[in-house]
Amino acid sequence: MISLLCLVVFCLSLASNAHAAGTHQIFTRPGENVTLPCRLKLDPTFTFGMASSRIKWSKLNGADEIDVLVSMGFHKVVYSDFQGRAHLVEADDNDASLLLTNIQLDDFGIYKCDIINGMDDNICEVEIRMQGVVFPYSPPLGRYNLNFHDAEAACLEQDTTVASFEQLYQAWKGGLDWCNAGWLSDGTVQYPITRPREQCGGSRTDAGLRTYGRQNKLSRFDVFCFTSGFSGHVFFVEGKLTFDEATEACQIAGAMIAKVSHVFAAWKLDGYDRCDAGWLADGSVRYPISRPRMKCSPAESAVRFVGFPDKNLQLYGTYCYQAQQ
């Protein structure tokens, strides 16, 4: 029997992003294929590998486990919605990696790879997270001024869509904390709290998604928008500019004045960091901080919101967006 010193399962993350302790993360989008890595490494003195092992992949759902695939030698069983989409990679005798094709919204979450060899049971976990950014949005009129149809139009103006519950849930797991309630694509109104406090939920001390449930679509709230990212890049033009001058400065640079979605995507997906407040296309002034420091969002990484200042009297630099040619 192989001892625990000789048998180790390796979960090799395919993503460069930072991960939570103990669980490797892979970022992807709906419709794409993804490989969840899991590997058996044997002591060189042993000559048998995966053929003598039982491999089980399951998806964790709270305290429950949903079976995905079980393999024993040549015998393999794929379960329920994963049929036709879940396959062992089997690049070599010790490869237990799982290929999932055509990723669906329900596929996002934590998966467990369990390899049993003799009396040894070795486990690793891999989390599939949605690549993209959820961000809260309210118009120049101020918070709670969007009915559902206005919310859809506001996100569309940002080249985004109204976020789904799953997308907001993933963003909350990633640390999104926002105290204003916003529309989601299913017609519910919710908001994510990672740091419970009295002004955001009263006496409640639990973190989570606070919900107002499904609302009349003429009711007014903010909205959560979702973008999977852009192929271009964001850059900053220094100066003391009015809004019109900021727009022109971006055009002179061969770009367009950046939208809120462009800055959020650059900040979240590319780590864009700039401690200069600048105009954006909706008339707001914001700046992205990925490395918190004194005078630049010292408490947290965030896209800081200055407000909707007077476009003719207030002077700032500007953020521009250059689409990929």
pLDDT above 70 for 78: yes
Provide the 8-state DSSP code for 177.
-
What pLDDT, on the 0 to 100 scale, is given for residue 20? 36
Is the confidence at residue 16, as pLDDT, over 60?
Answer: no
- Please tell me the chain's helix, strand, coil percentages from 3-state DSSP, rounded to the nearest 5: 15, 40, 45
Burial category of 31 from C-beta neighbours within 10 Å (exposed 0-12, middle 13-18, buried 19 and up): exposed
Q: How many angstroms separate the CA atoms of 190 and 192, rounded? A: 7
Angle among Cα 186, 187, 191 to the nearest 5 degrees reads 95
- Reported as a single tens digit per residue, the pLDDT across 46-73 is 444 555 689 999 999 888 999 999 999 8
Pick the closest to residue 98 from 120, 116, 78, 118 (CA basis): 78
CATH topology for 133-227 is: Mannose-Binding Protein A; Chain A (3.10.100)
List the chain domain ranges.
8-130, 133-227, 233-322
What pLDDT, on the 0 to 100 scale, is given for residue 265? 94
- 119 within 8 A of 31, measured Cβ to Cβ: no
- Model pLDDT, residue 66: 95
Q: What is the pLDDT of residue 121?
A: 65
Fold of 233-322: Mannose-Binding Protein A; Chain A (3.10.100)
Q: Which has the higher per-residue pLDDT, 52 or 238?
A: 238
DSSP per residue, 197-223: BTTBTTT----EEEEEEE--TTS-BEE
Report which residue type is found at 224. F
Residue 114 near residue 56, CB atoms below 8 Å: yes
Say which CATH topology domain 8-130 has. Answer: Immunoglobulin-like (2.60.40)
| Tokens 């994963």, located at residue | 82
Average pLDDT over residues 251-264: 98
pLDDT score at 157: 97
* Mean pLDDT computed over every residue of the chain: 87
Radius of gyration for the chain, computed over Cα atoms and rounded to the nearest angstrom: 24
Global model pTM greater than 0.75: no
8-130 against 133-227: fold identical = no
Tell me how far apart the alpha carbons of residues 296 and 160 are, in angstroms, rounded to a whole number. 27
Q: Specify the pLDDT at position 17.
A: 35
pLDDT at 52: 67
